[in-house]
Amino acid sequence: DIVMTQSPLSLAVTPGEPASISCRSSQSLLYSNGYYYLDWYLQKPGQTPQLLIYLGSRRASGVPDRFSGSGSGTDFTLKISIVEAEDVGVYYCMQALQPPQTFGQGTKLEIK
C-alpha cells in the first residue's frame, strides 16, 4: 500500500498570511497518462470532507483560487496564498493512483 505522510500535523496562521502543507507518498503518484493522482480534501469543523484539489494541481469546482496544489513524483504541496478564517479545519492528502486509496494523517489548520 502507498503510505502518505503529511507535515506539519498542525499549524496556526494569521489571517491574511500564506500557509503551506506538505504531503509525501511512499511511491510515485505519476500515472501513464502524465497526471499525478494526488488529491487534497478539507474537512471543516462539524462538516463532511470536501474536495479541494485533484490530479495534483486542479482546483475542484467552486474552490477559491487562493488554494493551489503543486508537486511531482512523491512530493506535493498545498498552498493557501491568503488564509481566511473560513479555511480552518483538517486538510488531508489522498493518493488516487492505486487501490487501496490512502489518506495522509491530516493537518489541522487553526487561526491565530
Binding site for other proteins (CB under 8 A): 1, 31, 37, 39, 41, 43, 48-51, 54-55, 60-61, 90, 92, 94, 96-106
Interatomic CA distance for residues 37 and 57, integer angstroms: 10
C-beta of residue 96 within 8 angstroms of C-beta of residue 5? no
Of 57 and 82, which has the nearer Cβ to other proteins?
A: 57
Of 29 and 80, which has the nearer Cβ to other proteins?
A: 29
Could you tell me where the DSSP H helices lie in 2-102? none
Closest approach, Cβ 14 to other proteins, in A, equals 26
C-beta of residue 57 within 8 angstroms of C-beta of residue 69? yes
Closest approach, Cβ 17 to other proteins, in A, equals 26
